[in-house]
Each structure stands twice: as C-alpha cells, then as structure tokens.
Amino acid sequence: ELGQNLQLFQTTPKTVANEVEAVASGIFHTLILKEDGSLWTTGSNFYGQLGDGTFKDRSTPVMVESGGVRSIAACGYHSLYVKDDGSLWGMGFNGNGRLGDGTTTTRKTPVEILGSGVVRASAGGAHSLFVKSDGSLWAMGHNGRGRLGDGTYTHRSNPVMIVDANVTSISASYNYFGLFLKNDGSLWGMGGNNKGNLGDGTTAERKTPVMIV
C-alpha cells in the first residue's frame, strides 16, 4: 500500500513519490495526485481499483493518467477522480453501483461516470458522493440505512440528486453514513446513526439529510 516495492511494515517515514499535490487511501490501496496533474496508484488491485487494466497488486506507483486530474478519492475497494474538464471517473469494485456508471460491473480501467460539471467527489465504503459546480449533491451505490439520503433504501447504480444547491464540501463514510457542508456553514448528515454518528442528538437512522449544526 505504501508503494515502496517492499513487503514489510514501515515504522519510519519513507519517500514514496515527489512533487505530490494530494493523496487518497482505500483499505489496501493508495492514489497519488502529482503537481503536474498525473494520477498514480499503488497497493492492492484485487478489484481493479488501481485502474491500470490489471488485477495485479503494485508495490510501486503506476501511472493511470498522465495529466489533467484535479482531485482524487478512495475508500474500500473503489477509486474516483475528477478531471480539469469537470468529468468524473471511477475504477474498481462496483457492487451496488457505487461507481455510478449505470452497471454493477467491476472496472479495472477508469470509466467515465459524468462528462462535465463535477468539482469534487468522496468515496465511501460502499457508496459515493459528488458535488457539481451548481452546488448540487449527488449520490450512488449501496443505500443501506439510507446513507444516500434520497429518502429510500434503494441501491443506485446511476447518480441521484440529493440536494439541488449550496453544497460546498462532502464526506462519505466507510460505514453507513455521509456528511456535507453548505455555503451558509451548516453541517448536514444522512444514513446510519446508531452510535450517534451524525451528531444530531439522536440515534435515529436518517434516510433524508438532517441538519446537525
């Protein structure tokens, strides 16, 4: 997962790559976005989550995109990234449609989910969220405990709009919930809440967004 061509635990920091702008990690894989907009991946590739066209694990980073990548997200066994043109791409495990490409087919090479308008994405354990340039919030994938926030428990292999405007930041949990921030500073959440995960003062499951703060 560290991308150092080693099969050992590391107890001290090691250099993996230079000129790095951002990183994102799944359970056993890592995405690396470099300053030149290139996308690199390393680690476990059992579901094709590295996007290099194989199911082969990589102990050193492999380049997936040579440039044009704006942001990255990873969690569980799938990966997402947004390009400079606003297109959203995904690869890896697609159970319950978490990649949002209209199928449940595992993808070992990147598949385009949306052609334009996306500004950021967040990958959860079995679902995904993204925000468009108009501030709308969209979700896809596993909808256990209402984590997609669309008022149902129906799994979605195509993106479904949850909020139509004013969303600025998102976080899809590895477990059964998600959070988002609006431009007025309010914090909202949806999904599983049995341990008070959402922070709304209850342990009630929320299949539509509830304001927390």
CB contact at 8 A, 52 and 45: yes
The pLDDT value given to residue 170: 98
Would you call 191 helix, strand, or coil by DSSP? strand
pTM greater than the 0.85 cutoff: yes
The pLDDT value given to residue 13: 83
- Alpha-carbon distance 200 to 173, whole Å? 16
CB contact at 8 A, 161 and 136: yes
The pLDDT value given to residue 3: 53
Q: DSSP letter for 102, please.
A: S
Would you call 41 helix, strand, or coil by DSSP? strand
The pLDDT value given to residue 181: 98
CB contact at 8 A, 72 and 39: yes
* Residue ranges for the chain with pLDDT beneath 70: 1-9
pLDDT digits (tens, 9 = 90+) for 58-114: 999 999 999 999 999 999 999 999 999 999 999 999 999 999 999 999 999 999 999
Nearest to residue 110, comparing CAs of 143, 156, 68, 139? 68
Number of H helices, E strands in the chain: 0, 16
